[in-house]
Copies of this chain bind each other. A is one copy, B any other.
Amino acid sequence: MSEPVRGYILDELEVGMTAEIERLVTAEQIDQFAQASTDYNPVHMDDAYARTTAFRGRIAHGLLPASFVSAVVGTKLPGAGALYLEQTLSFARPTRIGDTVTARVRVKSIDRESARVVLETTALVNGEPALEGEALVRVPRRRRGAAAA
């Protein structure tokens, strides 16, 4: 194949398959997330204010580590072509500048009739569970463009 495989199709998926990415969280990423989301909550932006809160310092938006999970879903497992239907998120601990986030996806179940796949989605912060949840995606049955080859 001359074209890169952009994502898994249904027949290629098996329960138990996993994928992950590791990301170092930077102040720049938090600033970019604030600009994209227009969420300038001072606990994310203003370290002096954040120090007066229970967090005792600036923390990332909760959806930033969630977006790393979403990056795994959209680019690795199942990858491009999958349609995101649902995501649940349970936040256990905050993410700070300098933290290493490991975003992990594991295929939990596959409904081959409907082409719907349940994924366990997790983010660890410095190895500790920070975010748990599940995603429901619909996966393509065949690779687009193959018929045109």
Contact = CB atoms under 8 A, between A and B. Distances in A.
Judged by DSSP, the binding face of A is: mixed
Nearest to A30: B36
A36 B41 contact: no
Contact of A6 (B42, B71, B75, B81): B42
Interface in A61-119: 61-64, 66-68, 70-71, 74-75, 79-81, 83-91
Most interface-central of A37, A52, A54, A145 (chain B CB within 10 A): A37
Contacts of A70: 37, 39, 61-63
Nearest to A54: B83
A53 B33 contact: no
